[in-house]
């Protein structure tokens, strides 16, 4: 819109100048003048577009290279998480339009307006074709680089995951953790064995003491029983011995008493 307003202002100034100089250039063909002006303006616009587009294209291609390097770098760094970023490209289109120049210029303006779209379409098509031709090998190389980077990095981290790979990043951890677990099991078993030994010693002492106490008590009871039995047996033996002795002595006495008979 800014470009159109500038052209309108320029047109107004030009009309004013033509009006003020009408007596001098009365024989000048306005349509031809407009064609001359348009041809020069068209060349200027194309030159400006080419210059701006060259700068734009250089900037975009440099940004594209940086973006591709970033994609490759991030793909390498983030391959474990299988994350990929995409960079979008933005295309801008510019359209210009002229305003009415005057009643005398309507015919020429109609011709210009009728031919202008085709001219710009051809220019844009030619430029886009050249851009596509330039970008095709770049895109092919970009895809190759990204695929190679992903493939190579996948191989690296697959190897690092493999327990049997010389470059394994998991084997050492597993070895250390196996030793750590074995040491832990041995520590736990040692602690439990120590507790078992302590409990065994305590339990052995307790049951031995209990057995000793029970045997001591039993032996005391048995000794008391034996003492009572022995005393009773002695009394009975004494009584029996006395009876037997008395009987024996009586029989001896009887023999002796029978001597005189």
Q: How far is it, in rounded angstroms, from Cα 113 to Cα 136?
A: 35
For 30-34, 101-105, 183-187, 229-233, which range has the lowest pLDDT when averaged over its residues?
Answer: 101-105
Which pLDDT belongs to residue 141? Answer: 92
Average pLDDT value for residue range 96-104: 50
Cβ atoms of 79 and 95 closer than 8 Å: no
- For the entire predicted model, the pTM comes to 0.33
Q: 132-151: per-residue pLDDT in tens?
A: 888 889 888 999 889 988 88
Q: How far is it, in rounded angstroms, from Cα 100 to Cα 220?
A: 142
Q: 170-224: per-residue pLDDT in tens?
A: 878 888 888 988 999 899 988 998 888 888 888 888 888 888 888 888 888 888 8
Mean pLDDT of the chain: 76
For 24-33, 56-65, 68-77, 131-140, which range has the lowest pLDDT when averaged over its residues?
Answer: 24-33
Which pLDDT belongs to residue 116? Answer: 76
Q: What percent of the chain has pLDDT over 90?
A: 3
Helix, strand, coil shares, percent, the chain, to 5: 85, 0, 15
Q: How far is it, in rounded angstroms, from Cα 261 to Cα 75?
A: 150
């Amino acid at each position: 819109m800014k470009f159109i307003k500038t052209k309108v202002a320029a047109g107004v100034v030009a009309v004013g100048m033509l009006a003020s100089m009408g007596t001098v250039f009365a024989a000048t063909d306005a349509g031809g003048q407009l064609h001359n002006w348009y041809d020069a303006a068209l060349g200027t616009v194309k030159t400006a577009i080419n210059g701006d587009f060259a700068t734009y294209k250089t900037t975009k291609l440099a940004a594209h290279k940086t973006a591709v390097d970033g994609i490759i770098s991030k793909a390498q760094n983030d391959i474990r998480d299988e994350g990929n970023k995409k960079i979008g490209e933005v295309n801008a289109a510019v359209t210009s339009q002229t305003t009415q120049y005057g009643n005398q210029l309507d015919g020429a303006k109609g011709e210009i307006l009728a031919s202008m779209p085709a001219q710009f379409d051809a220019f844009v098509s030619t430029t886009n074709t050249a851009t596509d031709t330039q970008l095709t090998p770049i895109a092919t190389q970009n895809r190759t680089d990204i695929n190679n980077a992903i493939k190579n990095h996948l191989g690296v981290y697959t190897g690092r995951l493999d327990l049997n790979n010389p470059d394994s990043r998991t084997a050492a951890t597993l070895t250390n953790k196996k030793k750590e677990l074995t040491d832990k099991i041995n520590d736990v078993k040692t602690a439990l064995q120590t507790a078992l030994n302590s409990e065994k010693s305590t339990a052995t002492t307790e049951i031995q003491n209990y057995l000793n106490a029970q045997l001591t008590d039993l032996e005391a009871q048995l000794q008391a029983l034996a003492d009572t039995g022995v005393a009773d047996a002695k009394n009975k033996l004494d009584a029996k011995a006395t009876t037997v002795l008395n009987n024996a002595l009586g029989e001896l006495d009887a023999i002796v008493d029978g001597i005189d008979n």
